[in-house]
A and B are shown apart, each in its own frame.
Chain A
Amino acid sequence: MTPPPSAPEPDSDDALMRAYALGDARAFEQLYSRHQAGLYRFVRRLLGTALAAQTDEVFQDTWLRVVNARAQWQPQGASFRTWLYTLAQNRVIDIWRRSGREVAMGDSEDGTPWEPTGGDAAWQQWPAPPSPAPQGDELAFWRRAGERLLACLDELPLPQRSAFLLHHDDELPLAEVARALEVGFETAKTRLRYAMSKLRTCMGAYLAPLQKETS
């Protein structure tokens, strides 16, 4: 059940953005410190290995757009965070197109959510997800799994990549993912499922030799 709309908390993103629009520079500093790490990571992973050098440029442009658009900014249903990621994603699309890469926004989905067949079957041979602070071999395993995941991400089309990152890394609800990507809910859901399926397959292929080594 969705709670009724109420006035934003004094330190909420929306309230801070409003304060910055009225000239409060400290409000912007709070916003920046709150979102800078997640946004930087999102931009870097969305650009991929090939375009990682342009992470700083996209990151800076995104924040400057926030600065310049402060007077016109209105929540209008989307949170500041969603809007911030929308700006970043649009800027990444520009970079992609500028570099000659194809940005296939249509994917293969046509509105009907794709249903995974295997589900969690891909992880049957994996160890359990790590504890919050893994140590030793467990930590080494997951670091290598992380490296592998970044490589798998590079294989995804941009729309699926952004859906996955927003949902799994930045932990936006799917509805917010749809808003950030400026697509319908079902489209976002399908993109996400495609991304997860491909990543599981990619990671499972990685796991087999890894498990052989460990055994």
Chain B
Amino acid sequence: MSDDEVRDAYLQSALKHAPDALAGPPPALSEAILREAQAKARDPRTAPHAPSRKSWWDWLSRPSAASGFAGVMLAVLVGLMWREQASDLGPLREPAQAVSPATGVATPATAPQAERMADAAASEARPQLEGKVERQRAEAPKQTPKPAPAPVLAARKAAPPQAVALAEASPSPAPPAAPAATQAPAAPLPPATAIASAKIGAMADAVSNAAAPVPAPVAEAAKPAATPPVEVAQAETRAQARSERSPQAGLAAIAGASTHTLARMAPALPAPAVAALTALRQALATEPARWTWQRGSDTPPQPVTPALRDWLATLDQAAAGTPWQPALPAGSAPAQALRLLRDGQVAELLWWEGDSLRWQHGTQPPQQLSLPSGQGQALQQALDDAVR
């Protein structure tokens, strides 16, 4: 049997002679069809791109793809909300120092807040590590005198034995840590910044790699210290700029938020006096309007002059090779001590005890810089000239 069916010649002949055998489309209809076809041929958008758009929408309409897309959108939303929350908490830091009504002691107002935010960031960024961190916190009292981050440890190893002993004996590790830092001048970051950096690095690692080791919670055990607000503001600015540069990167945004939060922890961390002195000079340079000075509590505050800033620079240079040490006996500042006021509040006190310069930063115990006789007298004279 043939694959095809034989055509009936009679029926075929009848078809060929039917009245409509020569019928064709009206010329106007043919023109319209050809015109449409030409128009579509000239339009490059319809041919290659239409199917891709259609297939994209078809793909997106699948339940699996739609749920995945919704998940990504939700993650972006949560990231944005987290970033907003971190920004909204910024003004809480504004009163940089507040006097505690109970103790009359000035403490950085944002330290507890920053600590809470850091803890919140840690718990949100790496919930699976929470247990590990909690275990380490529980062990912290036993290990408090043994800070874990490598920079601090290295600085302590380089410090004189008595300084380390003081650090371990004192509940406030900031002042004893100062000599340790001066023993390691090559390190560009002071220990407070190093600790903060270590924690920031740990947070970033926790975000990107949950299995990464976590440094011991030194920051939680640390007391408020001397990093001035200007550094905090700079850290915030850097963090904000970083997050604005790459708003699309969710992890980077979270890491930026962590940095933002942890940067505000910096004042709560111990810092050596030499770094604080440098930071004080930076603060005077960047926020001159907020700073005034007075000698004697009954004299009116006066704006910080370039001469005074130059004297601080000279002091900074003179202190570079000489360690600051706790002032013993501590005593109290005399009436003629130089007071540096920030927003009208006494922030720094400087006075002379012989050839030794004493400096009380905030409410911390005063520290002492013992200078050679000639250099001490020269600095005294220079200070008198600068604030005359």
Contacts and interface: CB of A to CB of B under 8 A. Distances in A.
Interface string B30-50: 101110111011101011101
A200 interface: yes
A141 to B, nearest CB: 9
A149 interface: yes
Contacts of B46: 71
A169 B33 CA distance: 24
B25 A56 contact: yes
B344 to A, nearest CB: 75
Contact of A40 (B16, B18, B23): B23
Contacts of B5: 167, 174, 189, 192-193
A23 B25 CA distance: 24
Interface string B41-70: 110101110110000000000000000000
A41 B17 contact: no
Contacts of A200: 8, 10-11
B312 to A, nearest CB: 75
Nearest to B15: A169
B29 A59 contact: yes
B41 A24 contact: yes
Contacts of A174: 3-5
B19 A143 contact: yes
B212 interface: no
Main secondary structure of the interface of A (DSSP, over half): helix
Contacts of A64: 33, 36
Contacts of B8: 120, 123, 168, 196, 199-200
Most B CB within 10 A of own CB, among A70, A120, A168, A171: A168
Nearest to B2: A174
Contacts of B47: 21-23, 70-71
B23 A44 contact: yes
A85 interface: no
B24 A37 contact: yes
B38 A149 contact: no
B21 A41 contact: yes
A143 B42 contact: no
Interface string A53-96: 00010011001100110111000000000000000000000000
B42 A142 contact: no
Contacts of A120: 8
Given A28-B34, A168-B7, A175-B3, A150 B18 contact: yes
A145 B14 contact: yes
Interface in A116-157: 120, 123, 126, 129-130, 134, 139, 142-143, 145-150
B10 to A, nearest CB: 5
Interface residues of B, number: 39
A68 B54 CA distance: 14
B34 A32 contact: yes
B5 to A, nearest CB: 5
A70 B40 contact: yes
Contacts of A164: 11
B328 interface: no
B299 interface: no
A147 B14 CA distance: 8
A60 B32 contact: yes
A173 B3 contact: yes
A51 interface: no
A208 interface: no
A25 interface: yes
Given A29-B34, A63-B37, A168 B11 contact: yes
A180 interface: no
B19 A146 contact: yes
B34 A171 contact: no
Given A25-B41, A44-B23, A168-B7, A36 B15 contact: no
Nearest to B54: A72
Interface in A170-196: 171, 173-175, 189, 192-193, 196
A139 B14 contact: no
11 contacts: A22-B47, A23-B44, A25-B37, A32-B33, A63-B37, A71-B48, A71-B50, A130-B17, A146-B21, A168-B7, A203-B14
10 nearest A-B residue pairs (beta carbon): A146-B18, A142-B17, A146-B17, A149-B14, A25-B41, A145-B14, A25-B38, A129-B9, A28-B37, A129-B13
Interface of A: 20-25, 28-29, 32, 36-37, 40-41, 44-45, 56, 59-60, 63-64, 67-68, 70-72, 120, 123, 126, 129-130, 134, 139, 142-143, 145-150, 164, 167-169, 171, 173-175, 189, 192-193, 196, 199-200, 203
Given A29-B34, A150-B19, 20 more contacts: A20-B37, A29-B37, A32-B37, A36-B30, A41-B24, A56-B25, A59-B29, A60-B32, A67-B33, A70-B40, A123-B10, A129-B10, A146-B19, A146-B21, A147-B18, A149-B18, A150-B18, A173-B3, A175-B3, A200-B8
